[in-house]
């Protein structure tokens, strides 16, 4: 997957430095040529020999090493990189780069490179929240540097909070996305994600289990491939992705309005949202009282079918729907593909373990209008998103 790509893996001094060894293994397995640069404090946590053995290349540690300069000087390292990936990246390293300090081999390489740079910060949660740190990260993001957010969990210092390095696989996925092609440059991709909520009264609603993870993964993958991305999201617990124009909605009717308002601008529309098909006919202005009732009936009426309406007026746009099924997956997916006039449908059996709502993985089949069916094994939603975009991009008209 990364054959012929050169990655400089920068390792700084944090307890998560050991995870960089697993990350290196994933990069090598994917075919990348990896050169590791370690700061002095990183060497307190893990020995350079580990990285040398895994990468098959000498590990670079010193800015003014005569031998290393002759073989592969720091400028040459910076020049040959397709990606500079720093994992873990300490607050100190990020602070230095944000303020133009290049006083060791790693900071010099970062400042001298024209390649994409991806930081995977890991630190104590108070340091992470410190406005000085946040200002440094924001400054670098504005300048076009990339970041993968640390995750919540128990930190080495005993605190619970945000600051942990994500799993090496997650960091690898982000690196892979950045190294991926720019095949959606100049295109606008509209993605919908998450559930909708249909209110019964001010405190109750009808909804479903969608977490938004599938749609957000598609939006991020499309952004990484150079697209302008508009994400229309129902209520979810995910952060708005950076570099994506996100429109928040609650109900199916709001999603309908938002989608119709921007659909004209899109070259590719992918509808991963789980839109409620029905809403209550009447929404109570006040909380409904149970009084002495034992049963209660809520009358429902149809919501607009957003995808079907897009299918009616899609023009040269490529339209991809999802089908969440609990039985007869292919039959129902085929019907939706035809009835909604789609170019492709992504079918998932949401009763299958590892597929559908909320989890981090999905098991999908792609059905195209020409009758083709492609079955994928269980994979992360990020991996599904990449393959989905490969297939959808191939359907886009030339030019």
Q: In the set 42, 306, 319, 337, which binds ligand PMT (CB under 6 A)? A: 306
String of DSSP letters for 332-368: HHHHHHHHTT-SEEEEEETTSTTSSSSSSEE-EEEEE
Closest approach, Cβ 257 to ligand PMT, in A, equals 13
Whether 239 sits among the annotated catalytic residues: the reply is: no
| 184 secondary structure, DSSP code | T
How many helices (H) and strands (E) the chain has is answered by 15, 21
271 Cβ contact partners less than 8 Å away, ≥ 6 residues apart: 191, 192, 306, 307, 310, 319, 320, 321, 322
Q: In the set 20, 27, 94, 324, which binds ligand PMT (CB under 6 A)? A: 324
Part in contact with ligand PMT (CB under 6 A); list of ranges 3-11, 83-91, 154-162, 317-325 = 317-325
Part in contact with ligand PMT (CB under 6 A); list of ranges 25-33, 224-232, 290-298, 354-362 = 354-362
* CB nearer to ligand PMT: pick between 18 and 278: 278
Closest approach, Cβ 339 to ligand PMT, in A, equals 10
Contact between 366 and ligand PMT (CB under 6 A)? no
Q: Which two tokens stand for residue 215?
A: 């749609």
Residue with tokens 């307190």: 44
Q: Which of 6, 157, 220, 239 is catalytic?
A: 157
x-marked contacts with ligand PMT along 189-218 as a string, rule CB under 6 A: ---x-x---------------xxxxx----
Rg (CA), the chain: 24
* CB nearer to ligand PMT: pick between 130 and 361: 361
* CB nearer to ligand PMT: pick between 130 and 380: 380
x-marked contacts with ligand PMT along 133-172 as a string, rule CB under 6 A: ----------------------------------------
Integer Cα distance of 227 and 229 in angstroms:
6
Residue with tokens 């073989």: 71
Strands (E) across 155-239 are located at: 160-164, 188-193, 198-201, 204-206, 228-233
Closest approach, Cβ 330 to ligand PMT, in A, equals 13
* CB nearer to ligand PMT: pick between 84 and 263: 263
- Phi, psi of 212, rounded to the nearest 5 degrees: 90, -5
Closest approach, Cβ 224 to ligand PMT, in A, equals 18
Integer Cα distance of 101 and 251 in angstroms:
49
* CB nearer to ligand PMT: pick between 150 and 212: 212
* CB nearer to ligand PMT: pick between 45 and 357: 357
Output the CA torsion sign for 197, 200, 205, 206.
Answer: negative
Closest approach, Cβ 206 to ligand PMT, in A, equals 13
Contact between 278 and ligand PMT (CB under 6 A)? no
Closest approach, Cβ 320 to ligand PMT, in A, equals 8
HSE-CB for 104 with a 13 A CA cutoff = 17
Q: Phi/psi zone of residue 299: left (φ > 0), alpha (ψ -120 to 50 degrees), beta?
A: beta
Site for ligand PMT in 210-269 (CB under 6 A): 210-214, 252
Contact 194, 235 (CB under 8 A): yes
Part in contact with ligand PMT (CB under 6 A); list of ranges 155-163, 285-293, 303-311, 372-380 = 303-311
First to last CA, the chain: 26
Contact between 350 and ligand PMT (CB under 6 A)? yes
Helix (H) or strand (E) holding 141: helix 131-142
Contact between 274 and ligand PMT (CB under 6 A)? yes
Size of the residue set binding ligand PMT (CB under 6 A) = 29
Closest approach, Cβ 360 to ligand PMT, in A, equals 9
- Phi, psi of 30, rounded to the nearest 5 degrees: -80, 0
* CB nearer to ligand PMT: pick between 5 and 362: 362
Integer Cα distance of 357 and 290 in angstroms:
31
Contact between 356 and ligand PMT (CB under 6 A)? yes
Which residues lie near ligand PMT (CB under 6 A)? 192, 194, 210-214, 252, 271-275, 277, 303, 305-307, 321-324, 336, 348, 350, 356-358, 362
- Looking at the annotation, which residues are catalytic? 157
């Amino acid at each position: 997957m990364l054959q012929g790509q050169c990655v400089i893996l920068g390792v700084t001094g944090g307890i998560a430095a050991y995870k960089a060894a697993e990350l290196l293994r994933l990069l090598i397995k994917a075919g990348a040529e990896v050169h590791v640069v370690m700061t002095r404090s990183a060497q307190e946590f893990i020995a350079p020999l580990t990285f040398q053995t895994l990468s098959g290349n000498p590990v670079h540690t010193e800015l003014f090493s005569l031998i290393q300069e002759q073989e592969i000087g720091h400028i040459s390292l910076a020049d040959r990189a397709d990606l500079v990936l720093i994992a873990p990246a300490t607050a100190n390293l990020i602070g230095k780069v944000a303020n133009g300090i290049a006083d060791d081999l790693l900071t010099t390489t970062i400042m001298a490179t024209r390649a994409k740079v991806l930081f995977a910060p890991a630190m104590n949660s108070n340091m992470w929240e410190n406005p000085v740190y946040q200002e440094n990260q924001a400054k670098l993001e504005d300048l076009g540097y990339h970041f993968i957010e640390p995750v919540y969990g128990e930190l080495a210092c005993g605190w619970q909070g945000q600051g942990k390095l994500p799993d090496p696989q997650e960091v690898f996925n982000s690196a892979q996305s950045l190294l991926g092609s720019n095949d959606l440059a100049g295109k606008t991709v509209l993605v919908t994600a998450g559930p909708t909520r249909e209110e019964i009264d001010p405190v109750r609603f009808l909804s479903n289990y969608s977490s938004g993870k599938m749609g957000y993964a598609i939006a991020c993958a499309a952004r990484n491939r150079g697209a302008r991305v508009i994400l229309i999201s129902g209520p979810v617990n995910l952060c708005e992705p950076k570099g994506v124009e996100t429109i928040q909605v609650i109900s199916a009717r709001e999603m309908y309005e938002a989608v119709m308002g921007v659909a004209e601008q899109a070259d590719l529309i992918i509808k991963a949202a789980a839109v409620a098909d029905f809403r209550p006919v009447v929404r109570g202005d006040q909380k409904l009282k149970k009084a002495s009732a034992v049963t209660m009936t809520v009358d429902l009426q149809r919501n607009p079918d957003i995808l079907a309406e897009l299918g009616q007026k899609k023009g040269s746009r490529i339209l991809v729907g999802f089908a969440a099924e609990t039985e007869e997956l292919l039959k129902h997916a085929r019907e939706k593909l035809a009835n909604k006039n789609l170019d492709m449908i992504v079918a998932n059996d949401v009763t299958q373990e590892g597929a559908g709502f909320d989890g981090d993985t999905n098991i999908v089949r792609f059905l195209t209008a020409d009758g083709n069916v492609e079955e994928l094994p269980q994979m992360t939603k990020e991996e599904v998103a990449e393959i989905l975009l490969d297939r959808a991009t191939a359907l886009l008209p030339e030019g």
